[in-house]
């Protein structure tokens, strides 16, 4: 396990930024009335969610599950 003081500073801002982006894409998917746009927003949100979970595991942070 690494010490929190040894982690790079970029890790502090990446996970919250991914959370905001994922929430925005999910909202855009729900508000869009065009099927191809919904598919793109949904796919990108899923991809970013996988990246977020991977980074959380690397950063030794708890993974929050949205239901």
Break the chain into its structural domains and give their ranges: 12-58
Helix residue ranges per DSSP H, the chain: 10-31, 35-58
Using 50 as the pLDDT threshold, list the residues of the chain that sit under it: none
Any residues with CB less than 8 A from the CB of 56 and at least 6 apart, and which?
15, 62, 63
Tell me the angle at which helices 35-58 and 10-31 cross, rounded to the nearest 10 degrees. Answer: 160
Q: What is the pLDDT of residues 10-24, one digit of tens each?
A: 667 888 899 999 999
pLDDT for 59? 73
Which pLDDT does position 66 carry in this prediction? Answer: 58
> Could you identify the residue written with the tokens 């949100």?
45
């Amino acid at each position: 396990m690494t010490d929190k003081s040894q982690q790079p500073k970029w890790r502090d801002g990446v996970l919250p930024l991914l959370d905001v982006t994922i929430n925005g894409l999910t909202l855009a998917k729900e508000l869009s009335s065009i099927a191809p746009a919904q598919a793109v927003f949904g796919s990108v949100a899923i991809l970013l969610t996988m990246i977020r979970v991977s980074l959380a595991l690397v950063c030794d942070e708890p993974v929050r599950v949205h239901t």
